[in-house]
Amino acid sequence: MSVPSDLEIARSVTPRPIGDLAAELGLRPEELELYGPTKAKVTLAGVERVERERPRGKYVVVTAITPTPLGEGKTTTTVGLAQGLNRIGRRAAVAIRQPSLGPVFGIKGGAAGGGYSQIIPMEDFNLHLTGDIHAISAAHNLASAFLDNHLHHGNALGIDPFSIRWPRVVDISDRAIRKVIVGLGGKENGVPRESEYVITVASEVMAILALAHDLFDLRARLGRIVVATNREGKAVTTEDLGVAGAMTVLLRDAIKPNLLQTLEGGPAYVHCGPFANIAHGNSSILADRLALATSDIVVTEAGFGADMGAEKFFDIKCRASGLRPDAAVVVATIRALKMHGGVGRIVAGRPLDPALTTENVEAVRKGAANLAAQVGIVHSYGVPVVVAINAFPTDTAAEYAVVREVALAAGARDAVVTRNWAEGGKGAEALAAAVWDAAASGEADFRFLYPDEMSLRDKVETIATRVYGADGVDFAPAATKALAEYEALGYGHLPVCVAKTHLSLSHDPSLKGRPTGFRFPIRDVRLSAGAGFIYPLAGDMRTMPGLPSHPAGEKIDIDADGNVVGLF
């Protein structure tokens, strides 16, 4: 018996009119901007009104163990959990990021969830949606154009061309433009200099939009972006270039949260999609505020494992929003725990190693050290944890028992097998009950990992030792110089957003499980003054992905009726 594709499952459901769903949430018609019958933007006035009139719901963040290249079903679990909560009588909403077109057409495919735990319309979710990412690209590249235009017309600000770190962006994976020379072809084409392209979701503008409280906060943050320094070493901002106001105008609609729905008709807020390696990897504060004001409980998702997205959710997003989580979910799969236990090898695009589908209790136990570490990371913030074991047909009861044993010993409140991929909300009812109990328990005693006044160097060392488990940090000369420069410029109070591999708790993707005895290397440190963080670079981080030998886009087309096919 063949299993329907995600796209076939998504199309098997007739979406509810989005206006009907919005009315159930207490939103007024004038607070909606419809993009067809199945998706809409919610005005900022609507967000502010429901916040004034409604109590705040419970706030739950979904994170995970260190993932394999295939991912562990974190988005699917996030959506399924919201569906399960609605099935057990809690008014629940999901709030997640919008995917980049780069991975959709590249190696990952879509990101609307999977199986019977998806957000619909699936095609719209994955392809353009309401145009927010394109607006971000336009705003970012406008600043790039203003910067090069300023150099061309005499450089009155005295910008040091060698200090420029403001790239250009495009939302397609294209390795050929990672490094470029701009300004070639003669005097009228600008000042020649080396530059680069990054994928739009790695843009500081994307990170800013996700952290902005309102249009005026967005305007202020955009104006604080540092594009370069002058010859005296002083920061040169987009405000200095005179472009911050125009950037804000381009983002007037993009700042409004998008309302969609799950396969089972519950609310889904899809807004922003910052890169989880370079940026904070979380959906927008505005979408979370709207969801919390219109629901009893909100399930949001942080990128990659707890050492990446959840740490940044706690230390960056919660710092900026003032919101405090009531509970967290850590997603794990048996196959990933076996990999962390030294069994099998997972390569995206290739058949699964048979060793990962054969019962191996000892490999699961060994690999579950990674799960214990991730549960411990969340606990260090004072947030109660429920482990969600995302079930696959080849898993066994003995393997589940080991995961539960390790999870509870690490301090999790519960560890629940969830089958929402195959069964939708019904398959997540047990997880939903455990998560509601955790969120309603009042056990959360949230605290940040470090205070604002701690030095930037000490913040980096705190994250590396307490979150990643490193013995210490080795700062390259360039990193030491950058940290001193940023503190001298007045940015020492900012939180830290470490850019590292998501495939290990360490900086080295080959170190699986719970690595120990390593030192964490920082080769350089960059500034995102508008977003409000600095980001140290560990290892060779790519801000522009490349396409695989057979990109997912090869299978995407239209059929004889004009419908999208091949999207997964």
Catalytic residue among 43, 66, 76, 300, which?
76
User: Residue 76 catalytic?
Assistant: yes
What are 419's two structure tokens? 């089958």
Catalytic residue among 39, 41, 58, 74, which?
74
User: Residue 317 catalytic?
Assistant: no
Q: Are strands 235-237 and 113-114 parallel, antiparallel or unpaired?
A: unpaired
Count Cβ neighbours within 10 Å for each residue of 161-179 and write b for 16 or more, e otherwise. eeebebbbbbbbbbeeeee
Catalytic residue among 135, 210, 212, 276, which?
276
Contact between 212 and 285 (Cβ < 8 Å) = yes
By residue count, the chain amounts to 568
Catalytic residue among 97, 168, 413, 500, which?
97
H-only helix segments in 326-455: 334-340, 361-379, 397-409, 420-423, 429-440
Catalytic residue among 421, 436, 475, 520, which?
421
CA 568 to chain centre: 19
Please state, in angstroms and rounded to a whole number, the distance separating the CA atoms of residues 401 and 421: 21
Please state, in angstroms and rounded to a whole number, the distance separating the CA atoms of residues 374 and 329: 10
Please state, in angstroms and rounded to a whole number, the distance separating the CA atoms of residues 450 and 453: 8
User: Residue 304 catalytic?
Assistant: yes
Please state, in angstroms and rounded to a whole number, the distance separating the CA atoms of residues 537 and 501: 10
User: Residue 14 catalytic?
Assistant: no
User: Residue 43 catalytic?
Assistant: no
3-state DSSP of 426-476? HHHHHHHHHHHHHHHCCCCCCCCCCCCCCCHHHHHHHHHHHCCCCCEEEEC
User: Residue 401 catalytic?
Assistant: no
User: Which helix (H) or strand (E) covers residue 147, if one does?
Assistant: helix 132-152
Please state, in angstroms and rounded to a whole number, the distance separating the CA atoms of residues 397 and 273: 36
Catalytic residue among 304, 313, 314, 520, which?
304
Q: What are phi and psi of 341, to 5 degrees?
A: -85, 5
Catalytic residue among 11, 219, 357, 392, which?
392
SS3 of 131, please? coil
The residues, ordered by sequence, that sit 6+ positions from 370 with a Cβ below 8 Å of its Cβ are 65, 66, 337, 340, 505, 512, 513, 514
Catalytic residue among 41, 108, 338, 413, which?
108
User: Residue 392 catalytic?
Assistant: yes
User: Residue 421 catalytic?
Assistant: yes
By annotation, the residues acting in catalysis are: 74, 76, 97, 108, 276, 304, 392, 421
